[in-house]
Structure 1
């Protein structure tokens, strides 16, 4: 009996607990109902707001949909839209979408303001109430197109700038035309040589071709290319021609091609250029032709010992000596003295050069076979050269003084017996002493006449 009473009382207690739990659960449900109703109202209001925003956004371009324009009401943030920093964000549990809005004024007082940040431009305060979506759309369209409203002054300035420059298409077209007309030096030289060698070309055309050809052969490569087309031999053969103007221009071309060009020097001497040039210089010819022939001869002899040997062998010094007996040939005489001076110095400098290469040894052996100074002494060049000191030009005197000083060791006996030379040197000394004194008074540091005076005094000292 006691057991039954205990069971009954236990069952009664569990029933009371279950009834109390049910009552509390119902009470909670009744309290939540108004809240759910309020949420439905709010969501309905949000849906209306969203519909209004959609209507506005539908008027915008598809590219503008990416921009999010915040207001003080909650708006749905669509996928891909850029949301400015500083907005309030929330997740709508009913729709599952993100929403954002501008903070309330009460929060703004606490320092929370909407700001649009740009890494390049810095912070810019934006009030969305001042701009409508349509205005933002127009501004964004202009920004994308890079178009700004220009004043009439700016348009005129831009037009003036355009007129100063030519269109790129026009320039490209002209460059294409120019490229089609560009010719290499080799092609131009080939045409010039063909025109010079053509029997249909007039005398003036041949002369013009040679004159143009001389311009190109100054370059070492062009002069060597002239060998490939046979131009060098044509020029050498023309030295025996009948037209003086063509002979003169041919010698001019030859001299320019020979200058510091060993390959052309070898080809020229093998082609008979040396004999033809000596023939012109040893016969009665116009002075202008002899000038060009002497220029070509000098270009051939300089730094070419084999040509110097052949020059002496063919009596070249005797031919050049004849210039000193001709009237009006002083310019040729000075050039001859300069050539002799250079040839003597070449050999002297080579002896001072220290080199063990086979090529240098061979070159020294070639120069050893040139006996220029002994031939100068035998043919009386010592006096012939010193007599040029009587010329009035200082430049001529400078070249002659250097040559006399260079020949002093070999020509000392002849110079000591030459009373005319001693008298001329004393006159020059007094003259240059006065000029040096005038230079000192004027404050000139680089004294040209001082150098000449030193040369005169050194020669006089060696003659004592």
Structure 2
């Protein structure tokens, strides 16, 4: 479905979903009488072969051709005919319960993704023909959830590609609840609300598969790369990541969209630290696809990640995610079971792991990471690289010095825990540079114990490990 068709579908669904209709019915429930006065009309819409206005509150039976006429702003419906689907000036989409939605518009704004080469198109055809998946839809997902998902998706993909929201505070079709949300969060309030709802749905495999449709996920990638609101970009990245995470069918379906390529480009252009972290989440989810790793190498993804890793103002959350990403996506043997690795690819992997080994040692040796959790992630990734690629992960002098300093702190902590002398405790803390918060942190002590265990076995002389027992 192209952008115009999504925009058209959105407009219908949004008007249908947001309009607050107040009606009062007669006792027989067959008629609706407007509270402001006027003629009553049937509760069930009576269709003919010509379009007629669907009045507020009327129920539409399945199978009708429904449209929103942009010229009049009126919702109309008629009996469905075979010619309706051939109208090039309208978008016909079959939704739940067989209802067909058409929106008439004379102004079509296209948002085409960049053209693919013949070789790329051939590869896409091979992807769809070569990889099949079997997925049984979840019968426990309610019809209302499907409708809510489609409504939010249509809105997000239309408004998200525009520079400003569709509605303003003066828009009569905006409900009081919507206006309140708009006042609190600004012109992107509706879009943010829709994206949050989509993210909630995206964790479900069925909805993830729908988001993974190449046209749909390409639209989210476009929002991620172009929308001026950082929270919109962050939510778009989370939707991409949630839809592909642990969802094998979605990964195969999204392959033609080159998700990893686009994520690396978005990461390179991004300047918001929170969005950096969200893109890392999406990247960790998408790289497990059939072509994810090849795209990562071709885009020089490692160089982009490391540039941000050492940039000023980078968040510790992003630093930690880099550690987890490298360990889970490249060091773990399970990630390579279904792929054959050439000597050239193995050489590239060894070089890449060597660069990350140096980066992680530098990050720890600078001793500027406050979060124990972040240090845990970086040290875990570094240890994994050193275990698997020992030749390509030489230990730096600055890192050895840092470990030695941490062992001094660990010894002081252990002595302090067994000392009853208040003055002695204070002297131990002052000599080791340990803060009061660190002193009472069980996580910090556990991290130092782990560091002590790996100090000689991984990062020093194994024969010197005997000396480590004296420090226990």
TM-score normalized by the length of structure 2: 0.50
Asked whether 1:187 is paired with 2:147, we answer: yes
Which of 356, 364, 373 matches 2:349? 373
Distance 1:204 1:336 in 2: 31
Q: For residues 456 and 225 of structure 1, do their structure 2 counterparts lie closer, same or farther at Cα, with a shift above 3 Å needed?
A: same
1:279: Cα distance to partner? 1.4
CA 369–394 in structure 1, closer or farther in 2 if over 3 Å, else same? same
Distance (Å, rounded) in 2 between the aligned partners of 1:255 and 1:327: 26
Residue deviations 1:43-63 (CA, integer Å, cap 9, x gap):
xxxxxxxxxxxxxxxxxxxxx
Shift of 1:366: 6.0
1:430 aligns with 408
Tell me the residue number matched to 2:242: 256
Corresponding residue of 1:9: none
1:452 CA drift (Å):
3.5
C-alpha contact 2:157 2:220 (8 A) present in aligned 1: no
Structure 1 position 253, deviation (Å): 0.9
Corresponding residue SS for 1:365: coil
Structure 1, unmatched stretches of 5+, are 1-181, 352-359
Deviations 1:103-161 (A, max 9, x none): xxxxxxxxxxxxxxxxxxxxxxxxxxxxxxxxxxxxxxxxxxxxxxxxxxxxxxxxxxx
Correspondent of 2:379 among 397, 401, 407? 401
Superposed displacement of residue 294, structure 1: 1.7
d(CA) in 2 for partners of 1:403, 1:229: 33
CA 1:367 to 1:190, structure 2 compared with 1: closer, same or farther past 3 Å?
A: farther
In the alignment, is residue 267 of structure 1 matched against residue 253 of structure 2?
Answer: yes
Secondary structure, counterpart of 1:317 in structure 2: helix
Deviation at 1:314, TM superposition (A): 1.4
In structure 2, what is the Cα distance between the partners aligned to 1:431 and 1:305?
46
- Aligned partner of 2:301 in structure 1 is 316
Q: Which has the larger radius of gyration?
A: 1
Cross-structure match for 2:450: 451
1:414 to partner: Cα distance:
6.0
Number of residue pairs matched?
A: 268
Give, in whole Å, the separation in 1 of the partners of 2:256 and 2:455: 43
What are the Cα deviations for residues 329-386 of structure 1, in whole angstroms up to 9, with x where unaligned? 1422221122111123422x467xxxxxxxx6xx1426988536313256x3322111
Quote the residue 1:296 is aligned against: 282
DSSP-derived class of the 2:326 partner? helix
TM-aligned CA distance change 1:213 to 1:370, over 3 Å: farther
Cα distance in 2 between the residues matched to 1:370 and 1:437? 49
**In structure 2, C-alpha distance between the alignment counterparts of 1:265 and 1:459, rounded to whole Å:** 36
The answer as to 2:200 corresponding to 1:201 is: no
Residue 341 (str. 1) matches residue 319 (str. 2): no
Structure with more contact order per residue of length (Cα contacts < 8 Å, sep ≥ 6): 2
Residue pair 2:403, 2:451 contacting (<8 A) in 1 also: no
Shift of 1:211: 1.3
Deviation of 1:192 (Å): 0.7
Residue 304 of structure 1, CA deviation: 3.5
- Equivalent pair of 1:257/1:264 in contact (CA under 8 Å): yes
Alpha-carbon distance between aligned partners in 2 of 1:367 and 1:190, rounded to the nearest angstrom: 43
Structure in which a larger fraction of residues adopt helix: 1
Q: Distance in 2 between matches of 1:217 and 1:367?
A: 35
Matched, 1:287 2:273: yes
Q: Distance in 2 between matches of 1:216 and 1:441?
A: 54
In the alignment, the residues of structure 2 paired with residue 412 and residue 229 of structure 1 have an alpha-carbon distance, to the nearest angstrom, of: 41
Aligned with 2:226 (options 231, 237, 241) = 241
Unpaired stretches in structure 2, ≥5 consecutive residues: 1-141, 160-164, 168-187, 421-440, 465-472
Per-residue CA distance 1:385-441 (angstroms, 9 max, x = gap): 11122234332332232223222253557634x221111111112222344556688
Give the deviation of 1:299 after TM superposition. 1.3
- When residues 374 and 262 of structure 1 are mapped into structure 2, their CA distance, relative to the original with a 3 A threshold, is same
Q: Aligned in 2, Cα 1:320/1:230: closer, same or farther, shift over 3 Å? A: closer
Q: Does 1:384 align with 2:337?
A: no
Contact 1:252–1:292, Cα closer than 8 Å, also in 2: yes
Residue by residue, what CA displacement relative to the aligned partner does 1:307-338 show, whole Å, maximum 9, x if unpaired? 11220121101111101331121422221122
Contact kept? 1:248, 1:293, Cα under 8 Å = yes
CA 281–455 in structure 1, closer or farther in 2 if over 3 Å, else same: same
Using the size of structure 1 for normalisation, the TM-score is 0.50
Change (3 A) 1:346 1:411: closer
Tell me: CA distance 1:429–1:226, structure 2 relative to 1, closer, same or farther (3 Å): same
> Residues 140-219 of structure 1: matches in 2 within 5 Å?
183-198=143-158, 201-202=166-167, 203-219=188-204
**Alpha-carbon distance in 2 for matches of 1:304, 1:217:** 17
